[in-house]
Amino acid sequence: MSLLGSIFGWLIVAGLAVTLLNYPIKVIYRKKIARLPKDSVLRRRYGLVQRFVVQYHRFFAGFTTVAMIVHLVIQLQYRWLSWTGLVTAILMLCNGFLGGYGHYIKRKKKSAWLYIHRTIAVLMIAALAVHLATGGR
């Protein structure tokens, strides 16, 4: 079961990486790709990738959250409670609720929720790095 817990842990990392691509993909498009000619092959292909990442951002986050819950259950049953993992999980859940609030209630209107959402994402990356560096303790 320890192997299964590790697999779900790395699924969380992979899902989080894809989820977090949303912001840099948009920034790169605004700063570099948008300046290219409309008929540019790079602009067209980048647009496809960007559309995919942005459109499915919430589903990647949902997958990551489900993987986190499964990982948490496995770890609690067969190992121990990791305080660094618990902090990371709480940040992930808070960010998920905030993202849902922004998507379904605010309807994509930029306001403080978006900046808090992004700040929590950065804190979550730091918490995950600490969790991995301490070996999940």
Q: What is the DSSP string of 62-102?
A: HHHHHHHHHHHHHHHHHS---HHHHHHHHHHHHHHHHHHII
Res 61: pLDDT: 94
Res 6: pLDDT: 86
Banded model confidence at residue 108, pLDDT cuts 50, 70, 90? low
Banded model confidence at residue 107, pLDDT cuts 50, 70, 90? confident
Q: Which residue type is seen at 55?
A: Q
Banded model confidence at residue 47, pLDDT cuts 50, 70, 90? very high
Residues 85, 79: Cα–Cα separation, whole Å: 13
Banded model confidence at residue 26, pLDDT cuts 50, 70, 90? very high
- Rounded to the nearest integer, the mean pLDDT of the chain is 91
CB atoms under 10 Å from CB of 100, counted, come to 13
CB atoms under 10 Å from CB of 96, counted, come to 19
CB atoms under 10 Å from CB of 50, counted, come to 17
Instruction: List the one residue out of 26, 13, 43 whose CA is nearest residue 108.
Output: 26
CB 36 within 8 A of CB 112: no
Q: Which whole number is the average pLDDT over 16-31?
A: 94
Q: Which whole number is the average pLDDT over 3-29?
A: 92
The percent of residues in the chain predicted with pLDDT above 70, rounded, is 99
